[in-house]
Amino acid sequence: MTCRLRVPLSLFQDWLDRLAEDPSSVVAVPMSFVSEVSGTPICVVRQPSEERNSSAVLLVFGDPGVPESLSGWSNPPALRGFLWIGLGAHRGQISGVVLCHDARFRVEALDLVGPGMRRLPVLDTDRPSFADPRLSRTVGALGQATVNRVRSLAVLQIGCGRNGSLLALNLARLGVEQLTLVDPDLVEEHNLGEMEGVFESDVGLPKAVALARHLRLVNRAGAVQTISEGASHADCVAAARECDLVVSCVDNDPARLAAAILATIFCVPHLDVGTGVFLSEGARLAGADVRLISPGDGCLLEWGGLARREEAVRILSGLQAAPTADWQSERMGSLRSLNEMAVGLAVQMLLDFVSGAIQGSFWQQLELSPQGRASIAHPAPNRDPACRLCASLGKADL
C-alpha cells in the first residue's frame, strides 16, 4: 500500500538546507491526514509552529541509520512516519513510510506545492508522456513536462457562471483529467449571452450540470464531476480534500472566502478570478482582479482581501443570512470581452506557475478606462503576521 505526501516547496527547501548543513540532524514536522484518492491516502506536511501537541509527526532525516536509533513507532506517541532524503552518494534517492489508519503505507510520491507544482516519484510510478496532437503547439510553447503536469492536476472549480464557464473550457481544452465543478445556481436566460457551453435548452438546469455536458464533449478523456451546492457544503469540502488546485470564479465574498479557506487548510494553490463593470461619476469603469495564491506565501486576505470581509465571515459562520442577490445595485452589467481577458490572464498565470516561471503568489489587476485603454498593475500584498487564515495552512485535521 502506498500514500502521497503534500509538502510546501519552501518547507522542502528548508529540509534540504538543514540536512546539507548537518547530515545527522532530524527534523520533526507536524502532519495531517487529508484524504484518500482511489484508496491512496494523502498526507499534508506543515511548517513547524508554536503548536505543542500535534496529533501526527513526521521525521525527516538524511542518515539512513536514524530509524534503527528509535525505540519504536509508539515512542513518541505522535510519531506517524519517516522520510529519508538521500545525501552525498545517495543524492536523489527518497524513501518513506507513514502509519495511517493503523496500516503502514510506503510513500509513493512527494507533491511539492509551489512554483513548478512538481511531483517527485519515490517508487517507480512516473506517468508516461502524453502524445496528443491537439496540444502540439502548446507543448512547443511550454514543454512536454509542463503540459503533462497541468493535465494531471485534479482541479476543484467553484463558480460556473460567466468567468467560470470560460475558465473551465480552457482547462478542458488543456486536457485536465479531473475537474469538479461547484455551483448552486440554475441557468437563467440572462446567462446565455456571456456564459460558455450553455444553450436555451439548458435554462432551468444547474449551471454545473449544463456546463459539464459541454466539457465532456470537448475533453472525452477527462472526468468531470458536478456539485450543485455552495462552496461550504460538505460535498465541496470532500472534493477539496482530493484536489491539487482550487479555482474560484464567484461574484460574492462568502463563496470566495470559503474557497480561500479550503485551499489553505488543504495546502493547495488558489486561483481566483473576479471581474466587474461599474458606473462612476457617469463614466463606465471596468476591471478584473486575478490572484494566484501559493501555499506559504500569504493568503487571499493578504493578497487583495475581500470587499466585505466581516460580512463574509458572519455569513459563513451562520450568524447572518446571505443578502438577496441584486447585482444591479452594485454593477452595471457584464462584458464577455472583459471576462475573456481576465480568464486569459488566469490561465497563463496557472501555466507559468506550473512551469516555475512564477515564483510565488501573484496578483494582476486589469483596468479598462472609459476611453477603452487597458492597463495592468501588480499590487503588493498587505502582510499580516497575525493572519488567522495563514496560520491554518495545512491544518485540515484541526
pLDDT tens digits, one per residue of 214-250: 999 999 888 999 999 999 999 999 999 999 999 999 9
Q: Give a yes or no: residue 40 inside a domain.
A: yes
What is the residue range of 58's domain? Answer: 2-121
Question: Which residue intervals of the chain are DSSP H helices?
Answer: 9-21, 136-142, 144-152, 162-173, 207-218, 234-241, 253-265, 309-316, 336-355, 388-391
In 3D space, the residue among 316, 346, 185 whose CA is nearest the CA of residue 253 turns out to be 316
Q: Can you say whether the dihedral through the CA atoms of 261, 263, 265, 266 is positive or negative?
A: positive
The answer to whether 289 and 110 are in contact (CB under 8 A) is no
Residue 124: partners with Cβ closer than 8 Å, 6 or more residues away: none
Same domain assignment for residues 116 and 155: no
Q: Which pLDDT band, with edges at 50, 70 and 90, does 120 fall under?
A: confident
DSSP lists the bridge partners of residue 97 as: 82, 106
- Residue 397 in domain: no
pLDDT tens string 47-92: 776 555 566 788 888 877 665 555 444 445 577 888 988 887 777 7
Residue 27 is predicted with a pLDDT of 87
Same domain, 44 and 149: no
- Assess whether 371 and 244 both reside in one domain: yes
| CA distance linking residue 260 with residue 268, whole number of Å | 10
Domain co-membership, 105 together with 211: no
Query: Over 70: is that where the pLDDT of 171 sits?
Result: yes
Residue 73 domain flag:
yes
Question: Are 115 and 157 within one domain?
Answer: no
Q: Does some domain include residue 398?
A: no
Percent of the chain with pLDDT over 90: 59
Indicate the residue among 98, 121, 144 that finishes a domain: 121
Residue type, 124: D
In this structure, is residue 396 part of a structural domain?
A: no
- The beta strand positions in the chain, using DSSP E, are 2-8, 26-37, 40-45, 57-61, 79-85, 94-100, 103-113, 118-121, 154-158, 178-182, 223-227, 245-248, 270-280, 283-293, 362-368, 374-377
User: Is the CB of residue 266 less than 8 Å from the CB of residue 34?
Assistant: yes
Rounded distance, CA 150 to CA 133, Å?
Answer: 16
Mean pLDDT score of the chain, rounded to an integer?
A: 88
Instruction: Specify the pLDDT at position 151.
Output: 94
Interatomic CA distance for residues 163 and 157, integer angstroms: 11
Alpha carbon 218 to chain centroid, angstroms: 23
Find the mean pLDDT for residues 249-265: 96
> Domain check: are 141 and 190 in the same one?
yes
**CATH code assigned at 105:** 3.40.140
- Poorest-confidence range of 134-143, 147-156, 193-202? 134-143
The percent of residues in the chain predicted with pLDDT above 70, rounded, is 89
Sheet with strand 223-227: strands edge to edge = 223-227, 178-182, 154-158, 245-248, 270-280, 283-293, 362-368, 374-377
C-alpha cell, 117: 507544482
Quick one: 52 and 185 in the same domain? no
DSSP state of 389: H
Residue 128 lies in a domain: no
Q: What is the pLDDT of residue 58?
A: 85
Mark whether 198 and 343 lie in a shared domain.
yes
How many domains in the chain?
2
111 and 143 in a single domain? The answer is no
pLDDT at 104 over 80: yes
Which contacts qualify for 208-214: CB closer than 8 Å, 24 or more apart? Answer: 208/160, 208/181, 208/182, 208/183, 211/160, 211/164, 211/165, 211/168, 211/181, 212/181, 214/169
Mark whether 193 and 58 lie in a shared domain: no
What's the pLDDT score for residue 183?
98
Identify whether 127 is part of a domain. no
Handedness of CA 297, 40, 262, 334 (dihedral sign): positive
Instruction: Write the pLDDT tens digit of every residue in 308-367.
Output: 999 999 999 988 888 776 656 667 789 999 999 999 999 999 999 999 999 999 999 999
Q: Given 88, 121, 154, which residue is the final one in a domain? A: 121
Same domain? For 203 and 301 the reply is yes
Average confidence (pLDDT) over 201-211:
97
Residues 169-196 as b or e (16 or more Cβ within 10 Å = b): bbbbebbbbbbbbbbbeebeeebeebbb
Do 91 and 163 lie in a common domain?
no
User: 101 vs 295, which has greater pLDDT?
Assistant: 295
67, 89, 121: which is the final residue of a domain?
121
Mean pLDDT, to the nearest integer, of 271-285?
89
Instruction: Give the chain's radius of gyration (CA, Å).
Output: 22
Q: Mean pLDDT across the stretch 380-392? A: 96
315: which 3 cell numbers? 455569513
Q: How far is CA 285 from CA 30, 130, 147, 162, 195, in A?
A: 47, 43, 36, 18, 21
Query: What mean pLDDT do residues 296-301 have?
Result: 96
Evaluate whether residue 126 is within a structural domain.
no
CATH number at residue 344: 3.40.50.720
